Chain A
């Protein structure tokens, strides 16, 4: 990467001129990118929490009345691959319904559907469970969690895809900014480049001068933007109450996620280096 021997000489070779807009622009883009990335990771984590172990979790819904509850529990208990069967107490079901239907749901007059949670052993499937339950209670619905949560998971995954697409767009915007800045720097230093080229500098050596600078500027601007965004994200995490954390099954962002977001400026600096290199080498092709 170090084409000319002392690093200091590199900077002297292409002195900085004009306004230093690029680091600012990249800083702003990086700020947004880190926030979008944080949102994307939080959504991914939420989806993972929801989906985790869902393959093994099944539920049996009996039509209101629940007269066959005992028989169904017994049948389910005998089904292949079943690890645990636990009927959900009526009060709990009422409690759940109350959220949707209001206080009337608490009245004992309202028949509530019977709910049974079933836990399968890892790797087992629910075929036998479905068959046996159907024998004793033909009206019962036997569903795995993924089936129940499908629409919600799909929604989360779509959101996740959107944040990813946004990140790609932001990356493209940064790449475009770097390309324009590199072209600008190349034009500014055209005469110096011509001299160096004329006395035997290789395309790689000339590109190195620019790619080092663009990587440096991207790293400086990007780090600043990322730090501000990360502070904001951490503040938001700190203000989450315990209830929310329990509800979403843990902190929305894990330490690894923060590290990943913190690495974005470095990855982007590498991107800038490659873009600047390609830009300069393409520009140099115009000369013999």
Chain B
């Protein structure tokens, strides 16, 4: 599976239909302000691992919001999971959101729910049976090393622990796409490495990963990851290899 998605064969389809998300001349402005995203053309490949970087205010969060459907573009077209979103009715959006795991920069845990209930939220929303929920949530809390903190409420958790709860919640529903906004913004280097490892494991299991970050060491540590850079609301591509990457070196090396 991994070879298929990340190996030579997968990348050969760069210009084909195997994209999980495609932006076509996408622009975004908030209210009547200036455009914060301009003429974005991009393609996120299914099974890929992509970093999004750029200066503060460059528009990273805005781009992610378009992806996880917290914003609609003011112009251009977005295709997600092969479907045109421009004309998708409001009622169709929750179905898309359930296929996307989001790690918000500020975690956005529900503070009056336990770690367990926070992680269980996507499954409860999807009306999975409680028995299944109990198994999946416990498994994930264990995976992020928080099995013994499952009854704890977010305010009693450390920043790193909260971050891991947020990540567990983002992936518990086995999303096809994981979007993480500065997921290592306020943890130490060791924790950052651990979290990165989590993302890589997920990616190996088939989830397409997009991580917005300033952390260059993180990017360097992920071999073969694609890199996109935003500057002033536009994708810059100095090497020409960033947005449409060369055949992956990771599988080979």
Chain A positions near chain B (C-beta within 8 angstroms): 4-6, 9, 12-13, 15, 191-192, 194-196, 198-203, 205, 285, 287-288
Which A residues touch B93, using CB under 8 A?
288
A-B contact count (CB 8 A): 60
Which B residues touch A191, using CB under 8 A?
108, 110
Please measure, in the bound complex, the distance between the C-alpha atom of A6 and the C-alpha atom of B113, giving whole angstroms.
14
Q: Which of chain A's residues has its CB closest to B169's CB?
A: A199
Interface-central residue, A13, A15, A200, A285, by most chain B CB under 10 Å:
A200
Which A residues touch B102, using CB under 8 A?
198-199
> Least Cβ distance of A159 to chain B in Å?
48
Please measure, in the bound complex, the distance between the C-alpha atom of A280 and the C-alpha atom of B214, giving whole angstroms.
38
* Interface size in chain B (residues, C-beta < 8 A): 29
Contact B108 A200 (CB under 8 A): no
Q: Which of chain B's residues has its CB closest to A17's CB?
A: B112
Contact B127 A5 (CB under 8 A): yes
Which B residues touch A13, using CB under 8 A?
110, 113
Give the interface segment out of B43-51, B117-125, B155-163, B231-239: B117-125
Contact A196 B108 (CB under 8 A): no
> Least Cβ distance of B58 to chain A in Å?
22
Proximity bits, B121-134, A CB within 8 Å = 1, else 0: 11011110110000
Which A residues touch B108, using CB under 8 A?
191, 194-195, 198
Contact A196 B121 (CB under 8 A): yes
Chain B positions near chain A (C-beta within 8 angstroms): 68-72, 90-91, 93-95, 97-98, 102, 104, 108-110, 112-113, 117, 121-122, 124-127, 129-130, 169
Contact B97 A199 (CB under 8 A): yes
Please measure, in the bound complex, the distance between the C-alpha atom of A198 and the C-alpha atom of B104, giving whole angstroms.
10
> Least Cβ distance of A268 to chain B in Å?
29
Which A residues touch B68, using CB under 8 A?
198
Contact A288 B125 (CB under 8 A): no
Can you give 9 contacting A-B residue pairs, CB < 8 Å? A5-B130, A12-B112, A13-B110, A191-B108, A198-B108, A199-B125, A200-B126, A202-B91, A288-B69
Contact A288 B70 (CB under 8 A): yes
Contact B125 A12 (CB under 8 A): no
Please measure, in the bound complex, the distance between the C-alpha atom of A285 and the C-alpha atom of B71, giving whole angstroms.
13
Please measure, in the bound complex, the distance between the C-alpha atom of A213 and the C-alpha atom of B70, giving whole angstroms.
27
Contact A199 B98 (CB under 8 A): yes
> Least Cβ distance of B112 to chain A in Å?
5
Please measure, in the bound complex, the distance between the C-alpha atom of A170 and the C-alpha atom of B6, giving whole angstroms.
66
If A201-B94, A288-B70 touch, whether A196 touches B125 (CB-CB below 8 Å) is: yes
Which B residues touch A201, using CB under 8 A?
94, 125
Please measure, in the bound complex, the distance between the C-alpha atom of A195 and the C-alpha atom of B125, giving whole angstroms.
11
If A288-B72, A288-B93 touch, whether A200 touches B112 (CB-CB below 8 Å) is: no
